[in-house]
Amino acid sequence: MAGTGLTAATRQAVIETPLARRGGIRTTAGSTVRGFGPSAFGLVAFFVVWELLVRVTGTPTFVVPTPSASFARLWENLGSYSYELLFTLAAAGAGLAIGLTIGVTGGVIMANWRILERSVFPLAVILKLVPFVAIAPLLRIWLGYELAPKIVLAALITFFPVLVNCITGLKAADPLALEFFHSLGANRWEVFTRLRWPTTLPYLFAALKVCVNLAMIGAIVGEFFGAEYGIGKIINRTSLSLDMRSMFAAIMLLALTGVTLTILTNVAERRVLFWHESVRT
Amino acid sequence: MPVTGIGVPVSAGVTPSRYARAHVVIDGVAKTFETRTGSVEALRQVSLDIQEHEFVTLIGPSGCGKSTLLRIVGGLIAPSGGRVEIRGRSPQDAQRTKDIGFVFQQPALLPWRTVADNIELPFSLNRGSGTDRLCTTEEILTLVGLGPFARAHPYQLSGGMQQRVAIARALIFDPALLLMDEPFGALDEITRDGMRYELLRIWSGSRKTVLFVTHSIPEAIVLSDRVVVMSARPGEVREVIEIALPRPRGMEVESTSEFLRYAERLRHLLRA
């Protein structure tokens, strides 16, 4: 009996729409692949020009090293740098986890209780307005030279974007969907779990994309102010000894890490938010 | 005032038992919205009885309070005066027992759920109360002509198809009353013309009691047992017209002389 009452035109639409969409996705994927070409070219060109400039102008290595020399140094030190990087990643990861937990918990509470939003949110704004670099030395004095101050720093920077986006997302539920839920006598918990929370996910991913990099910045800045381990410590130390090659090697490793983390976040977003416009288009 | 008694020829002369018999009773419902710039009277003393299995349409100019009335009947807005009863109970009680099925101008589906999961949604709300089922999800998908799309996501469907999912979602839990707020208002003319008869076909299977809001005169005539014409703000019932066209109605009904007479009558009432 399938489609008995359908007009020919509707049936045509029924058949064609998903195919057309799939075609659309294929086009997008194709353009991403094509998009790699120019960006790879730009990257290579950047390094070539850099290399040439340094060689042609005879710039001394202790001012700007050639990229080839920096890569070579990175390759030599990959083992020890990666070991240091693990500490930075651990601090950033733990800080991000705490920032996410505080941001989401706070967001859920504030979105549900107006009074709390009005009383606590300004505090969060003030906390956010203090330049976090200014707190770093204080945290080192209070919390020492290990992971703790870096974790706190990363958490301090990341909680706010998560909090703001979480509140916005929780209030962004489709009003008609809300009416449908209410017309069925849904309780608050059901509205939250089945409507408000899924609606919030795109907002949280937008925050996460920013916060992944912010957490790294927090951890590295923390390491600048004194740390036993971490890639920030390497950068700090090499800058004192003007070992520019090693310094650039460490920076390149961080850039690579940043790219990897961003790609991972985007992959996760595509998996979770396959239904959302931001991912589909 | 022509409002009292609201020309319900069916129940005329049975006034004492009227409330007991009517499936939905709208009695002197008024609504005034308080805004910052003053109060706006949206509805004034609207009364209407709807019998079980009846298809009643509200038609009227923009801003006549049709949607407001529908939301009051569905318990989404509280009236400023008067009362609504659905099977002798308040709209809130009807919500609790899942006796109200809403279809809006937009499908309002959950984009992260598949078509089948969207249709199943009502069963996971309200602590699963009112688990009566009209039929299986597969059956209702077939009924609305979306058999092969159970595992598709809403974004893979056209607007008309999404609206069919919304209709299926409102029917699956077998509500006592179906409230439809311009369900085809956001569709293009061609799709809309087709959907009218799709809905008629779906409805004739279950014969749910329907209160339907529309701007479209042909839609109102083709679908309804009675058409309630409302006047502009404040919304009042201007006239109730019984549509005596025989059922089942097909597309050819729109070229009959009775249809054209009804259309002329409605157009006249809406212009006046």
What tens digit of pLDDT does each residue of A49-71 get? 999 999 999 888 888 999 999 99
Q: Which of A15-29, A83-97, B36-50 has the lowest mean pLDDT?
A: A15-29
Chain B residues within an 8 Å CB radius of A6: 145
**pLDDT at B99 > cutoff 60:** yes
**Alpha carbon distances (Å) from A255 to A135, A251, A259, A273, B15:** 25, 6, 6, 26, 82
pLDDT at position B91, please? 93
Q: Give the type of residue at A223.
A: E
Q: How far apart are CA B42 and CA B21, in angstroms?
A: 28
pLDDT of A30 strictly over 80: no
* Residue-wise pLDDT tens digits, B157-173: 999 899 999 999 998 98
Q: Are B233 and B63 in contact (CB under 8 A)?
A: yes
Interface contact flag, B108 A2, Cβ < 8 Å: no
Return the higher-pLDDT residue of B63 and B119.
Answer: B119
- Check residue A32 and give its pLDDT: 52
Phi then psi for residue A226, to 5 deg, are 115, 115
Look-up: residue for tokens 């990861």? A93
pLDDT at A93 over 60: yes
Asked if pLDDT for residue A35 goes beyond 80, the answer is no
% of chain A surpassing 90 pLDDT = 66
Q: Is the pLDDT of residue B5 over 90?
A: no
Report the pLDDT value the prediction gives residue A108, as an integer from 0 to 100: 95
Q: Which residue has the higher pLDDT, B14 or A273?
A: A273
Contact between A243 and B79 (Cβ < 8 Å): no
Hey, are the CB atoms on A184 and B152 less than 8 Å from each other? Answer: no
Nearest to B102 among A17, A179, A195 (CB): A179
Distance from CA of B153 to the nearest CA of A (A): 7
On whether any CB of chain B is under 8 Å from the CB of A187, the answer is yes
CB–CB contact B102 A6 (8 Å): no
**CA A80, chain centre distance (Å):** 25
Q: Do B198 and A2 touch (CB under 8 A)?
A: no
Give the helix ranges, DSSP H, for chain A: 8-57, 67-112, 114-129, 132-143, 147-170, 175-183, 188-191, 197-224, 231-240, 244-272, 277-280
Query: What average pLDDT does range B106-128 have in this prediction?
Result: 92
Complex ipTM value: 0.87
A81, A260 Cβ separation under 8 angstroms: no
DSSP state of A21: H
B85 in A contact zone (CB under 8 Å): no
Confidence category of residue A226, pLDDT binned at 50, 70, 90: confident
Is the distance from CB of B174 to CB of B123 less than 8 angstroms? Answer: no
Q: Distance between CA A104 and CA A263 in Å, rounded?
A: 23
Say if CB A54 and CB A65 are below 8 A apart.
yes
Record the pTM.
Answer: 0.82
Residue B192 carries which DSSP code?
H
CA A53/CA A200 separation, integer angstroms: 48
Q: What pLDDT, on the 0 to 100 scale, is given for residue B2?
A: 40
Asked if residues A221 and A154 have their Cβ atoms less than 8 Å apart, the reply is: no
Q: What is the DSSP string of A70-109?
A: HHHHHHHHHHHHHHHHHHHHHHHHHHHHHHHHHHHHHHHH
Task: Look at residue A187 and tell me whether its pLDDT is greater than 60.
Answer: yes
- How far is B197 from chain A, CA to nearest CA, in Å? 9
Task: Flag whether residue B112 sits within 8 Å of chain A, measured between CB atoms.
Answer: yes
Quick: pLDDT tens for A193-203.
999 999 999 99
Q: Is A55 on the interface with B (CB under 8 A)?
A: no
Which residues of chain B does A275 touch, with a Cβ-Cβ cutoff of 8 Å? 111-112, 153-155
Query: Average pLDDT of B70-81?
Result: 94
Could you tell me if A16 lies within 8 Å of chain B, comparing CB atoms?
A: no
**Spatial contact of B73 and B242, defined as CB atoms under 8 Å apart:** no
Instruction: Characterize the bridge pairing of strands B209-214 and B177-181.
Output: parallel
Query: pLDDT-derived band of residue B194, with 50, 70 and 90 as boundaries?
Result: confident
Q: Residue B258 corresponds to which tokens in the numbers above?
A: 């009775």
Angle of helix A244-272 versus helix A231-240 axis, rounded to 10: 160
CA angle A24, A25, A30 (to 5 degrees): 100
Q: Is A20 on the interface with B (CB under 8 A)?
A: no
Residue A160 has pLDDT above 90, yes or no: yes
